[in-house]
Amino acid sequence: MIKYVALLGFSLLLVSAIDHTVFKSCSETPFCTRLRNEVLDVKKQYFAQITQVTSEENVLTVPLENKNGEKLNLLVYLLGNKSRVKIQELENKRFELGDIVIIEDLKTIKFTQKVNDDELSIISKDDSKYKVVVTKGPPFTVNFYYQDKLQVILNGDRLLMENTEESQAFTFKVEFPESEKLYGLHDHAWTMSLGDTNDGSTTSMDPFRLRNSDSWGYEANSPMALYGSRPVIYGHSTSQTSGIFLHNAAEQWIDAASTDENPSAYFIVHSAAFDLFVLHGPSPKDIVRQFTGLTGKAHLPQIWALGYHQCRFSYKSQDDVKTVAALLDANNFPWDAIWLDGDHTDDYRWFHWNSTTYTDPVELQQNISATGRVCVSISDPHIKVEDTYDVYAGAKRKYFVKWANGSDYVADCWPGASSWIDYMDPEASDYYGKWYAYDKFNGSTPTLAGIWNDMNEPAVFDDTIEKSMPYELVHYGNATHGNIHNIYGFLQTRSTHKGLLDRDNKEKRPFILTRSHFAGSQRYAAMWTGDNTATWEHFANSYSQCMNANMMGMVFCGADIGGFIGDPSDELLQRWYQGAVWLTFFRGHSSRESKRREPYLFSEEVQEVLRKTLYVRYQHIPSFYTLFYEHTRNGDPIIRPLYYEYTSANDLDTQVLVGTDIMGVAVTEAHVKTVDVYIPGNETTYWYRVDDGSWDVYEGGKTEKTKVDINTSPYYYKAGSIIFRKDVPRKSAVAAIHDPMSVYVNLDQDNKAYARLYVDDYYSFNYENNKDYFYVQVEYDANLDYLRIARIDGEDTGMDVTISNIVVHKIKNEDKDKLRSQKKVYSKTSDGISLKNLDIAKELRASKSQEIIIKL
């Protein structure tokens, strides 16, 4: 009955894909409809007893009270560039996430407090830039200052905390007085900027909903809940960026009011703790670092994970998989991984293979391994209820999520009646993770290099409960499911991650793709945007979604190329591949009902475009890899919205920066001959257009009507950058590991260019454990005709990093209407030494000064 939606979905799609009778609107959700337009009676508004504060261990407690005699405590923590407030009942029984999500060792800072009239000022003793002011009210307000700028206000006018048997919901409002735009609340199929949700009328759109859901066939441009949640908002203007993070994994609905005088967000939260972090920025870069400082960073992926992934729901048999692999190769499409979706299993018994269609999984993996590629297979958190199924038998009555009376929760999912692993329980989490060991996962070999955790919102085939678990279920530690709903998928990936680390003796970097995620999931997994649809709108949304993800720590992000549901036109498919080149995770995937769309199935012309597009991705893997490494060090996003680097460049949802130096443009409309491209920067910033081979130069701060044809979508290199590219067409990223790189020097007005380059063994943790890597600053000076390569740090016990030539582009000013460039290719040094296969890592190791100079 449930599979019904999945199977019949395609015909429904023609009308509307998502089933609105399953997923509720705010008006159908009691706590949301009750609280959305609640105006607090003055008797219910709290005032702050600012003369009765107490402090202990650098935490200040301010009693709150209203005229009904209700009392709460407001706790204030100064943490340097972050602040934190909690609001609690006097007897605090609310569920707290503890150290599940937040991994930073938070040090509260000493402060001085001062009461002045109706204000309590709390000023950091370390750094007086940071100040929190509580005003008495009613309603009380909490005001967060950075350098005397009021960045964030927690306005008590809409603070309500229900505390009855039936409801522990709470609401609050935060304002961003210094901001013009609000970004965040990942993940929605929406633009980056949140805009306004509530115009006060009955026809207002819904608030943004954060409730991890199996949103099969979700709508584009909608605030409906998707698979993952980050209760984060960044308030941004040209002059400053500040933010908040609600450390709470329960369902929530958020109204955004971006055009208010003080842009604001109103949160309606189902339950659990009121625990709010304020991030002081003040730049977009600072704020991302502050957030990734709190919730962690991704580790490096193995190099294959940055290549092209070929997937399908499903390759029906191991012969099908081998044939696809062989045909991709026969038709010269580069790829690195082929995926095994649900049909490879023994009727959805995870860790067991289908005995009629995948009869010899080891042989399959040998076949794939012989081509230098890997497989990724799927494993979901629901376990088929069947006493003869070993995974079930070992977990029954111990490791599953339970009803309050102690019986295992049983409901339908892919295999029929299922129970769900309770990953809150450390033993259950270990139990599940251990199934990945080679000796337990029979038929698995190291070629099964990655794991896909799907359906982990968790999805339950029951429309009456919005396709997930009832909130009253109980997890280990007596947490009701409602309190932890949005971290269930996070917890599954944590367990899988440990399982894979242990499986490979901690020698290899795990790769996990997850559908459900929460703040911090970057520590364990990559994400994709779930069951999207083959439409231009979904393609456009994938850019906003993955840029947002990157701004909130989740750097490894992609969308199903072509759209999971439905069939893209040839044009959409080509545009989608071209756009997806610049997102971090790069996978083609399609549903059972969609036509097969492996790249070799199209006309010669289309194949040629796709092949060229895949090569563009492979050429730029050195840039992605360097940026990934820098993320591991400082938490910076890998791909970036323009406003991250150019604070005034707002609302550009179809342009993406890869680091600082590459700009990709998604062409998100059919049959266009031109697209408007905003060239970021100002009159001293220039960009070279690379995709069409023209290397024409464009000045920053302007919107250019840009010619496009189907062969490429525009991308640019910034003047002043150096891009290390692997230009030799190869069958995979792994096959190109030892390939030499062409060095593209893109000179700025001063005839200079810079880059950083990172290389390591591409698979192990030696970079982390032994600092065994090659990491350099590279500088080209055309006035002196040299390329200087200087080590930043790292031991580099023996990398080979070879180059093949140096291609220098220079801005030519002759033509007034159009800036063009001049190209010069160097294949030897001024001393006549060939640059071909010059190993710069070896030269650098031999050099005493930690730098080398290549004179041209």
Task: Give the residue numbers annotated as catalytic, written as ranges.
Answer: 454, 457, 531
Q: Near ligand NAG by CB under 6 A, which window of 33-41, 343-351, 648-656, 796-804?
A: 343-351
| Burial readout 658-673 (b: 16 or more C-beta within 10 A, e: otherwise) | bbbbbbbbbbbeeeee
Please tell me the distance from the alpha carbon of residue 590 to that of residue 73, in angstroms, as a whole number: 51
Furthest C-alpha separation in the chain: 87
Which positions ≥6 away from 477 have C-beta within 8 Å? 424, 425
* Minimum CB distance to ligand NAG, residue 365 (Å): 11
Closest Cα partner for 591 from 621, 570, 566?
Answer: 566
Fill in the DSSP letter of residue 515. S
Residues in 138-177 at the binding interface with ligand NAG, rule: CB under 6 A: none
Strand partners, 281: none
Give 583's DSSP letter: S
Cβ proximity to ligand NAG: between 443 and 563 the closer is: 443
User: 456, exposed or middle or buried, with CB in 10 Å at 0-12, 13-18, 19+?
Assistant: buried
Measured from the CB atom, the residue of 130 and 253 that comes closer to ligand NAG is 130
Question: Which of residues 38, 147, 403, 608 is near ligand NAG by CB under 6 A?
Answer: 403
Minimum distance from residue 36 beta carbon to ligand NAG (Å): 26
Site for ligand NAG in 81-100 (CB under 6 A): 81
Residue list 235-254, contact with ligand NAG (CB under 6 A)? none
The CB-of-314 to ligand NAG minimum distance in angstroms stands at 8
Distance CA 348, CA 459 (A): 14
Q: Which stretch binds ligand NAG (CB under 6 A): 138-146, 353-361, 594-602, 672-680?
A: 353-361
User: Distance between CA atoms of 667 and 595, rounded to whole angstroms?
Assistant: 23
Pick the closer one to ligand NAG by CB: 202 or 405: 405
Q: Indicate which single residue of 215, 264, 318, 357 sits in contact with ligand NAG (rule: CB under 6 A).
A: 357
Question: Least distance from C-beta 697 to ligand NAG, angstroms?
Answer: 34
Write the CB contacts of 575 (distance below 8 Å, at least 6 apart in sequence): 539, 666, 667, 668, 713
Compute the C-alpha angle 117/123/124, nearest 5°. Answer: 170
Report the nearest approach of ligand NAG to the CB of residue 370 (Å): 4
Which one of 165-173, 401-409, 429-437, 564-572 is the stretch in contact with ligand NAG (CB under 6 A)? 401-409
Smallest distance from ligand NAG to CB 40, Å: 27
How many chain residues bind ligand NAG (CB under 6 A)? Answer: 27
C-beta of residue 14 within 8 angstroms of C-beta of residue 215: no
Distance, CA of 281 to CA of 279 (rounded, Å): 6
Among 8, 115, 326, 465, binds ligand NAG (CB under 6 A): 326
Task: Select the span of 208-216, 342-350, 393-401, 742-750 touching ligand NAG (CB under 6 A).
Answer: 342-350
Tell me the closest approach of the beta carbon of residue 293 to ligand NAG, in angstroms.
6
- Contact yes or no for 546/575 (Cβ under 8 A): no
Contact criterion met (CB below 8 Å) for 417 and 385:
yes
Q: Which of 11, 355, 388, 769 binds ligand NAG (CB under 6 A)?
A: 355
Binding window for ligand NAG (CB under 6 A); candidates: 57-65, 116-124, 270-278, 359-367: 359-367
**Out of 370, 601, 670, 792, the residue judged to bind ligand NAG by CB under 6 A:** 370
CB of 368 or CB of 525, closer to ligand NAG? 368
The stretch among 340-348, 603-611, 735-743, 798-806 that binds ligand NAG (CB under 6 A) is: 340-348
3-state helix, strand, coil in the chain (%, to 5): 20, 30, 45
Q: Are 800 and 785 in contact (CB under 8 A)?
A: no
- Are β-strands 557-558 and 526-528 bridged in parallel, bridged antiparallel, or unpaired? parallel
Select the span of 376-384, 400-408, 686-694, 829-837 touching ligand NAG (CB under 6 A): 400-408
Angle of helix 570-580 relative to helix 536-551, nearest 10 degrees, comes to 10
Kindly state the smallest distance separating residue 160's Cβ from ligand NAG, in Å.
21
CB 197 within 8 A of CB 256: yes
The rounded Cα 740 to chain-centroid distance in angstroms is 31
Shortest approach of ligand NAG to residue 396 CB, angstroms? 14
354 binds ligand NAG, rule: CB under 6 A: yes
Stretch of residues binding ligand NAG (CB under 6 A), selected from 182-190, 361-369, 380-388, 564-572: 361-369
Choice between 384 and 494, CB closer to ligand NAG: 384
Q: Applying CB under 6 A, does 407 fall inside the site for ligand NAG?
A: yes
Which of 356, 769 has the CB closer to ligand NAG? 356
* For ligand NAG, the closer CB: 382 or 481: 481
**E strand map for 391-515:** 411-413, 416-420, 448-453, 474-475, 479-480, 511-514
User: Do 377 and 365 touch, CB atoms closer than 8 A?
Assistant: no
DSSP string, 600-611: GGS-HHHHHHHH
| Complex with ligand NAG: residue 371 or 829, whichever CB lies closer | 371
CA distance 69 to 603: 74
Amino acid sitting at position 835? L
Using CA atoms, how far apart are residues 209 and 786, in angstroms rounded to an integer?
55
Footprint (CB under 6 A) of ligand NAG, residues 265-324:
286, 289-290, 316, 322-323
Which tokens belong to 755? 């880059």
CA 585 to chain centre: 10
Task: Classify 44 as helix, strand or coil.
Answer: helix
Tell me whether residue 558 or residue 599 sits nearer to ligand NAG (CB atom): 599
Q: What is the end-to-end Cα distance of the chain in Å, rounded? A: 71
Sheet with 715-718, strands from edge to edge, namely 639-640, 655-658, 662-665, 715-718, 686-689, 697-699
Q: What is the distance between the alpha carbons of residues 216 and 484, in angstroms, rounded to a whole number?
A: 22
Among 443, 458, 499, 622, binds ligand NAG (CB under 6 A): 443
Q: Which of 34, 40, 65, 80 binds ligand NAG (CB under 6 A)?
A: 80
Which residue lies nearer to ligand NAG by CB, 201 or 405? Answer: 405
453-492 binders of ligand NAG (CB under 6 A): 478, 480
Minimum distance, C-beta of residue 126 to ligand NAG, in the bound complex (Å) = 9
Contacting ligand NAG within 209-228 (CB under 6 A): none
The helix/strand/coil state of 258 is coil
Calculate the alpha carbon distances from 415 to 339, 412, 678, 754 in Å.
20, 7, 50, 55
CA distance 334 to 337: 10
Residue 618: CB minimum distance to ligand NAG, A? 23
> Tokens 């005229």, residue?
67
Applying CB under 6 A, among 347, 463, 570, 739 the residue interacting with ligand NAG is: 347
425 is an interface residue for ligand NAG by CB under 6 A: no
Give Rg (Cα) of the chain: 27
CB closer to ligand NAG, 223 vs 443: 443
Closer to ligand NAG by Cβ: residue 6 or 64 = 6
Least separation in angstroms between residue 359's CB and ligand NAG is 8
- Is residue 813 close enough to count as binding ligand NAG by CB under 6 A? no
- The answer to whether residue 768 forms part of the interface with ligand NAG (CB under 6 A) is no
Name the one range near ligand NAG by CB under 6 A: 249-257, 259-267, 355-363, 608-616: 355-363
Give residues in contact with ligand NAG (CB under 6 A).
80-81, 286, 289-290, 316, 322-323, 326, 343, 346-347, 354-357, 361-362, 367, 370, 403, 405, 407, 442-443, 478, 480
